[in-house]
Amino acid sequence: MEYILIFIAAVFVNNVVLSQFLGICPFLGVSKKVETAGGMSAAVTFVLTIATIATFLVQKYVLDVFGLAFMQTITFILIIASLVQLLEIVLKKVSPALYQALGVYLPLITTNCCVLGVAILVIQKDYNLVQAVVFAISTAIGFALALTIFAGIREQLALTHIPEGMKGTPIALITAGLLAMAFMGFSCIV
């Protein structure tokens, strides 16, 4: 039951993009087409899960043991950047097709604050490793859900008549606000 609550809270109630405002850059920048939103979502899901496991283990077995908790943020940033670079190199050699499919999304994940935010939230919430993995996967699903819905709405908006002053970023921000309000309706679940 505990894992189901973590899942529902991370996907719907405390959506990382719409509630906590982490990962806004890819949310606004990569959401013009559902196809690109899907690619970014897949890449974020994979990196977010692996990065959360790696940062959790480093925090618990290195930083906490040696009293270096003050080095958490810089350590996590280095781990995430190294992990993304390593993943890029491995994918390029092992699966060139997947590497091409992810394309520019892999390097973009290095600067996605959603990955760092989840790694820090796992430590702040004092989750164990299984809870941390469930939280990471759930957060990635919530990110993908918000990004895909937003991309679908933006594709639909491109087909409608919008006043000249509202085209582009203004209508995107209004849409994001309305989407965040819609997700607030889930707050009574948990």
Q: How confident is the model at residue 190 (pLDDT cuts 50, 70, 90)?
A: low
Summarize pLDDT for 15-36 with one digit per residue, the tens: 999 998 888 877 887 778 888 8
3 state SS of 167 = coil
Kindly report the pTM of this predicted structure: 0.88
Closest CA to 58 of 89, 29, 79, 77: 79
| 3-class SS shares of the chain: helix, strand, coil, % to 5 | 80, 0, 20
User: Does pLDDT of 107 surpass 90?
Assistant: no
CA 117 to chain centre: 9
Summarize pLDDT for 143-180 with one digit per residue, the tens: 999 999 999 999 999 899 999 999 888 999 999 999 99
Spell out the alpha helix ranges (H) of the chain.
Answer: 2-8, 24-29, 34-58, 72-94, 96-102, 105-110, 113-124, 129-158, 169-184
Summarize pLDDT for 78-89 with one digit per residue, the tens: 999 998 888 888
Determine what percent of the chain is predicted with pLDDT higher than 70.
98
User: Does pLDDT of 59 surpass 90?
Assistant: yes
Q: Which two tokens stand for residue 128?
A: 């164990």
